Structure 1
Amino acid sequence: MSEPGKPVLVSLRGASFAYEDGPTVLEDLDFDIREGRALVLLGRNGSGKTTLLRLLSGGLRPRTGRLTVEGRPVTYDRKGLTRLRTTVQLVVQDPDDQLFAASVAQDVSFGPLNLGLPKTEVRARVDEALDALGITRLADRPTHLLSYGQRKRGAIAGAIAMRPRVLVLDEPTAGLDPDGQERLLATLDELRAGGTTVVMATHDVDLALRWADDAALLTPEGVRTGPAAVMLARTDLLRQAGLRLPWGVAAAELLLAQGLLTDAAAAPRTPEELSAFLRADAASPVRADG
């Protein structure tokens, strides 16, 4: 993985998993989450993305191998799982699988209450989480009256109320309209700026290129991890993972070939960035004189 100097917070080594009476989903897998890196996990349906996220968060236990947090093996008793879940929190794809309390504030308070925290501390965490997700006004709203995007934010608020060091999200932008996606990504950026390491599983290669520092591709030959810009330009790995080439990579190749760009790292990664780039290039003195 890139940035080898970054400390490993959570690690799987030699992990394998199979569901009861089913085929092996993951086999002899090594996977690291490094502090401060935005990591995106990509792969075709059935490749094991959700299974991997559940292994990392303690929802599933590997058949072989081990999970460690800062080098210490995770134990799957109450004490060990509590320690893990104060470090790693998973937000599942469908918020209706996660929200269950009568109101948003009650739902967000569930995790901190289970930690046995004083009521004043629980209230502070709930207020902080609701504010971070921009849903303070929804604190007393019944969860079943929320819009889909609001339910997504409520589920994430419940996770960050645990103040995890690592937030793991399964397809967080699925089902959101473009404005909802942008608002969620802005929230994730704010959480990262506050010190939370974020891991996201997604099928959206354009989002991955734009957002992530590192990309992990689940292929039939195993997981391949590296800098997002490098991994998402590897057409061989993308083909193995059942993914297409990101729009931004294709745009960068065209700009480089046309001599409009000299550094691929500075390439636009969204249509809006491309439009701004072309306007700036057309207005530059060199281009105008040429």
Structure 2
Amino acid sequence: MNAGRSPAPVPRPAGVVELIGAGYAYEDGPAVLSDVDFAVPEGRSLALLGRNGSGKTTLLRLLSGGLRPVSGRLRLDGADVSYDRAGLTRLRTTVQLVVQDPDDQLFAASVGQDVSFGPMNLGLPEAEVRERVAESLAALDITALEDRPTHLLSYGQRKRAAIAGAVAMRPRVLILDEPTAGLDPHGQERLLEVLDRLRSSGTTVVMATHDVDLALRWADRAAVLAPGGPRTGPVAELLDDDALLDAARLRRPWGIAVGRVLRERGLLADGEPGPRTPEELAAWAPAAREG
């Protein structure tokens, strides 16, 4: 008997959703991803970085159940995902993917109808569906567009309507594929404000992008897709690794370059975070002179 001996601790999953040894190849094509270990930790803003063709979209679709790994497995809260109806429903009520082009996601006649589709498909009572629609439209700041035909929306409005449809599922993890692509600077800022609100409310947000400056200013963690597989860590640490960026064929972020210059000139202490945007540099300069 093992009286008095504590039971062995149960290992905690590395993330809400995680791929273990996962590989994927499209029909009649080479492997896009091979033996990938990748976890999405809860409560983070995670930027997935890689050049075009690096496998970002494939990785996102594997995480959300849109694709099934040809090798390895997908786990949700530490348990393997089954690709039957019950297993996929459980996954998609936890993880929601918003694709890059909103026209590939919007299909209903009006914004409200489109946003209500997911909750209705779960078989929820009508009152709860209405509550979720109202909540999601408010979160994306598009309540006034509820009855607007989707084909009359601007591109930025279509982006937010597509995200609202995902948010209506109340996922713990919201995955966005190049969400700022095609938006003008004002549209990008409005979208980032929405994502910050969602993150503050407890939603884990994953954003795939090749924009290193956006990743540096927005995310607290990053995953860089390089030939040897994804490298994860604090965003500023990864984006200050020249060898990694060269391997991934990504350029240096503006904020990292400026920080290096300031440190070389003794204007910024080692380990002190530097300005990440021109606006932060403009605000930092007077304070630095006064200091």
Shorter-normalised TM range: over 0.9
Separation of aligned partners in 1, 2:14 and 2:113? 35
% identical aligned pairs: 70
2:167 maps to a residue whose letter is: I
**Preserved contact between residue 223 and residue 232 of structure 2 (Cα < 8 Å):** yes
TM alignment of 1:23-34, pairs within 5 A:
23-34=30-41
Distance 1:193 1:204 in 2: 23
CA contact (8 A) 1:38 1:197 kept: yes
Paired residue secondary structure (2:60):
helix
Aligned-residue offset at 1:77: 0.7
Quick one: distance in 2 between partners of 1:263 and 1:236?
Answer: 20
Q: Does the 8 Å contact 2:64/2:91 carry over to 1?
A: yes
| Residue from 249, 257, 262 that aligns with 2:264 | 257
CA distance in 1, matches of 2:147, 2:51: 39
Select which of 73, 78, 85 maps to 1:78.
85
Q: 1:161 aligns with which of 157, 162, 168?
A: 168
How far residue 264 of structure 1 moved from its aligned partner, in angstroms, is 3.9
Aligned counterparts of 2:79 and 2:13: Cα–Cα separation in 1 = 17
Question: Structure 1 residues 183 and 264, CA, compared in 2 at 3 Å: closer, same or farther?
Answer: farther
Aligned partner of 2:234 in structure 1 is 227
- The answer to whether structure 1 residue 87 and structure 2 residue 94 are counterparts is yes
1:266 aligned counterpart, secondary structure: coil
When the two chains are superposed, the root-mean-square deviation of aligned CA atoms in Å is: 1.2
Is there any run of 5+ residues in structure 2 with no aligned partner, and where?
1-11
Q: CA deviation at 1:263?
A: 4.3
Measured in 1, the distance between the counterparts of 2:152 and 2:141 equals 17
Q: What's the counterpart of residue 135 of structure 1?
A: 142
Q: CA deviation at 1:220?
A: 1.1
Counterparts of 1:162 and 1:58, CA distance in 2 = 15
CA contact (8 A) 2:119 2:169 kept: yes
Across the two proteins, how many residue pairs are aligned to each other? 280
For the 8 Å contact 1:6–1:34, the answer to whether it is kept is no
- C-alpha displacement at 1:281, in angstroms? 1.9
Task: Measure, in 1, the Cα distance between the counterparts of 2:206 and 2:16.
Answer: 12
Aligned to 2:198: 191
Match for 1:124 among 107, 125, 131? 131
**Unpaired stretches in structure 1, ≥5 consecutive residues:** none
Give 1:101's aligned residue.
108
Partner Cα separation in structure 1 for residue 133 and residue 195 of structure 2? 17
Contact conserved, 2:13 with 2:77, CA < 8 A, in 1? no
Q: Which runs of 4+ in 1 moved over 3 A?
A: none
Letter of the 1:217 counterpart: V
Match of 1:245 in 2: 252
Give the match for residue 9 of structure 1. Answer: 16
Note the C-alpha offset of 1:6.
9.4
Three-state SS of the structure 2 residue aligned to 1:22 is coil
Find the counterpart in structure 1 of residue 44 from structure 2: 37
- Asked if the contact 1:6–1:36 (Cα under 8 Å) also holds between the matched residues in 2, the reply is no
Q: Report the Cα distance in structure 1 between the residues aligned to 2:222 and 2:46, rounded to whole angstroms.
A: 6
Measured after TM superposition, the shift of residue 259 of structure 1 is 1.1
TM-score, structure 2 normalization: 0.94
| 1:113 and 2:120 aligned | yes
Which has the larger displacement, 177-186 or 121-130?
177-186
CA distance in 1, matches of 2:48, 2:288: 34
The alpha carbon displacement at 1:7 in A equals 5.8
**1:60 corresponds to which letter in structure 2?**
L
